[in-house]
Structure 1
Amino acid sequence: MIAKVITGKSFGGCVRYLLEREKSAVIDSAGIRDYEVKAIIADLNAQRKMRPQLGNAVGHTVLSWSNEDRDRLTVEKMAENAREYMEKMGIRNTQYVTVLHEDKKHPHLHLVYNRVDNDGKTIDNFNHWHKSRKVCRAMTEQYGYHLGQGKSKVNRQALRGSDRLRYEIHDALRTIMAKASTWKQVESMLAGQGIGIHYKYRSGTSEVQGISFEKEGAKFKGSAIDRKYSFSGMEKQLSENRTMGITHSSAEGPTLADQIREILHQPLEQRSEVFETGFSLLGDLLNMPASIEPEPDPTWRRRKKKHKSEKSRGIRR
């Protein structure tokens, strides 16, 4: 069992994306009058008005299980797991809608919840990506679900040469594609981590048909990083992010110092997972300029004014 955690601004775009498609159904909810799309959107937007200054009020999590767990999962069991996940993540006392999708080979569902709770308070999302990984791992072990050995389990510190660079690009793309909605944003955020992006065009046209990434002189095709980072895969993800109202903003996120402190407080054997998002933050900090502007002397203006006044009196005499 794994989770993809998303924060967005538009309940309308998110709910329509989830429900206005084939093989989708609401299997659980709270605080919603009806399962009709317009009614769900209206109810969620009505509650968010209690905290209008909160821009990213949309909480959205995709819960997925391995296809090997399909035979032991029922709709009721998946809804029950979703409620348990929300409880352990601190998502309580708020509106939510659980939507089952059956358009993929593996079982998965979408949780959409209001970050403005029923009392008008904001549901905190500090470090919720890291917390979500822990919750999913614990529930996977608790219920005996299949434990995949994906890229997230690879020990980054043991990698060398091109393997190290390939995984650094992979980890950067995973973080960026969770919050970017345009290619310009992708290019800018990759450049900030020293990663170049190259497009392959169809002969004699301006039509993009492939993509590759470069770091420290090593170049990799997008599909060699991961199949979902081919040009078509990334284009699809960016389109979905725009539909769901995801925007790249750090206004509500934890400060750089808070995130680095969280990383350094982890036991050494656990840091490989945290470095998936924290490595670039440490690099950014180490590369920051060391120059500091001196603070102005608050008495300077008074001294200057007094000196000028005395000089003026002297001239009059």
Structure 2
Amino acid sequence: MPVAKQVKGKGFYDCISYVLDKDEKEILESNLSGKTPSALNKKFELCCRLNQKVRFKVYHATISFPPEDEVDDEKLKAIAHDYLYGMGFGEEQPDLEQLEKEERIKDKDRMFGDKSLAVPYLVVRHDDTENKHIHIVAGRVRHDGSCVSSYWDYRKSERVLRMLEDYHGLESPKGAIALKELRKILDRCREECTNFDDLKEMLREQNVNVYSKNNGIVYGYKEKHYKGNTLGAKYTLQGMSKVLYPLGLDKYDNPPPRLDIEDKAIRAELETHRDTLERILREEQVDNFKGKHYEVQRNKKSLIITKIDNPDEKVKWVKPAPTMPWILSNFKFTEDTFNDFSQKMRTTRENMEQMEKDRVLKEEAVRKQQEIQEKLATVGTQTAPPSSSRRRGR
């Protein structure tokens, strides 16, 4: 499932310099000539002179793809084109609501076919992170001098991404089916319920669990968790509140306070737990380990511990460079979760230490038994009577 971030700015040069100032990059597509920040900046600025009233003329979007999405350069270009066109950077804004209802025949590489964009744009692929992602830089002034509207562009982006996800197959078939099933279940339950408590009970009967997050909501379905804003605006806490009575929403509107991560004692204890987690992964010879309550994932640059029943509660360590120690970059445990996690980690560490002691004692016992057997064998050889030999007669 792709994720998009949007930023608007006043000047093109800094944005283009950031996008192109990477060793692991590739310019995929552009309708402007030039490959340097200076040359491209002049082209962008020239195109945007058609409307001097637009202050925030720079549009910068980053679309990131999970490892399971197989996207080559041709598909990335098609996705970038469809995303920009769906966001209104063509001659006109397409009717997304109508398009969602229509059955689209996937007979073209691009969802919007050969419809051209009406703004200057640049698409660059970056390979400096584990997740493949592209940067899209575009002007918000069209060729006719009109400005691309930014009205509700974040909700619009969610809708466009869901359409691209379906059209370009940006999720495994199993995952895509699960998302559609979850949305249908939520739609049906929303219509039949009057308050949030009833909704939770009905969703539980459909094997959907609801969890609180920081002023938000998370749905658990088929061993995966989906944030409300990932599913769409109407599935967020705010969207649900518009059609349900507030009964049962207090827990979600007022989440428990977070811990103060600046406390040195907390940092020190977390570092101890990190060593325990790394030892578990090392002994199991795996990079991902899922327990009953917590899951730990390790890669070259990070170590993440996540609460199973609420993935928004997590701790993340990052290794910025080979010569530098791990640093704590993200801490989202509540006090209750932290205390529970610490207790389980201490118990796990004690059990592992006891197992190590038992292993050492067992090896020592085996070693002593072998020494005794070797001594007995040596003594037996030394005390054995000499073998008699017959005298040969004449």
Distance in 2 separating the partners of 1:51 and 1:121: 7
The gaps in structure 1 that reach 5 residues or longer are: 175-192, 211-220, 235-317
- Which of the numbers 57, 81, 86 marks the counterpart of 2:84? 86
Distance in 2 separating the partners of 1:60 and 1:173: 21
1:59 is displaced (CA, Å) by 1.2
Q: Is the 8 A contact 2:2 2:170 kept in 1?
A: no
Distance in 2 separating the partners of 1:173 and 1:11: 30
Distance in 1 separating the partners of 2:215 and 2:87: 28
Aligned to 2:145: 120
User: Counterpart of 1:67 in 2: which secondary structure?
Assistant: coil
What does 1:211-226 align with in structure 2 at a 5 Å threshold?
Answer: 224-225=312-313
What does 1:23-62 align with in structure 2 at a 5 Å threshold?
Answer: 23-30=24-31, 32-62=32-62
1:114 is displaced (CA, Å) by 0.4
Q: Is the 8 A contact 1:27 1:75 kept in 2?
A: yes
- Which of the numbers 164, 169, 173 marks the counterpart of 2:212? 164
Aligned to 1:240: none
- Which of the numbers 107, 112, 124 marks the counterpart of 1:99? 124
1:89 is displaced (CA, Å) by 2.3
- The 1:173–1:79 alpha-carbon spacing in structure 2 relative to 1, beyond 3 Å, is closer
What does 1:291-310 align with in structure 2 at a 5 Å threshold?
Answer: none
The one-letter amino acid paired with 2:329 is: S
- The 1:233–1:50 alpha-carbon spacing in structure 2 relative to 1, beyond 3 Å, is farther
- The 1:203–1:227 alpha-carbon spacing in structure 2 relative to 1, beyond 3 Å, is closer
1:107 is displaced (CA, Å) by 2.3
Q: Is the 8 A contact 2:120 2:139 kept in 1?
A: yes
1:40 is displaced (CA, Å) by 1.4
1:95 is displaced (CA, Å) by 0.4
1:145 is displaced (CA, Å) by 2.5
**Cα deviation 1:35-86 (Å, max 9, x = unaligned):** 111111222233333333322222122223331122xx22122112211222
Aligned to 1:7: 7
1:201 to 2:262 alignment: yes
Distance in 2 separating the partners of 1:51 and 1:225: 46
More helix by share: 1
- The 1:137–1:224 alpha-carbon spacing in structure 2 relative to 1, beyond 3 Å, is closer
**Cα deviation 1:111-170 (Å, max 9, x = unaligned):** 1110112222101121222222222212222233315579xx79695569x932546289
Who wins on radius of gyration, i.e. which is larger?
Answer: 2
Distance in 2 separating the partners of 1:118 and 1:227: 47
Q: Is the 8 A contact 2:215 2:254 kept in 1?
A: no
Aligned to 2:343: none
- The 1:99–1:165 alpha-carbon spacing in structure 2 relative to 1, beyond 3 Å, is closer
The one-letter amino acid paired with 2:79 is: N
**Cα deviation 1:220-257 (Å, max 9, x = unaligned):** x9x954568997359xxxxxxxxxxxxxxxxxxxxxxx
Distance in 2 separating the partners of 1:63 and 1:41: 22
Aligned to 1:254: none
The gaps in structure 2 that reach 5 residues or longer are: 91-117, 191-195, 202-209, 219-226, 231-252, 272-306, 319-327, 332-394
**Cα deviation 1:8-40 (Å, max 9, x = unaligned):** 21322221221102211211011x220111111
The TM-score, its normalising length taken from structure 1, stands at 0.50
The one-letter amino acid paired with 2:22 is: R
Aligned to 1:141: 166
- The 1:224–1:165 alpha-carbon spacing in structure 2 relative to 1, beyond 3 Å, is closer
Cα RMSD between the aligned structures?
4.3
User: Counterpart of 1:62 in 2: which secondary structure?
Assistant: strand
Q: Is the 8 A contact 2:141 2:148 kept in 1?
A: yes
User: Counterpart of 2:33 in 1: which secondary structure?
Assistant: coil
- The 1:58–1:159 alpha-carbon spacing in structure 2 relative to 1, beyond 3 Å, is farther
1:4 is displaced (CA, Å) by 1.6
Distance in 2 separating the partners of 1:172 and 1:228: 22
Distance in 1 separating the partners of 2:51 and 2:259: 42
1:199 is displaced (CA, Å) by 4.2
- The 1:159–1:60 alpha-carbon spacing in structure 2 relative to 1, beyond 3 Å, is farther
Between 1:43-52 and 1:7-16, the stretch displaced more is 43-52
Aligned to 1:129: 154
1:197 is displaced (CA, Å) by 6.8
The one-letter amino acid paired with 1:200 is: I
User: Counterpart of 2:216 in 1: which secondary structure?
Assistant: helix
The one-letter amino acid paired with 1:38 is: S
Distance in 2 separating the partners of 1:135 and 1:36: 30
The TM-score, its normalising length taken from structure 2, stands at 0.42
Residue identity over aligned pairs, in percent, reads 21
Q: Is the 8 A contact 1:85 1:135 kept in 2?
A: yes
Distance in 1 separating the partners of 2:127 and 2:153: 26
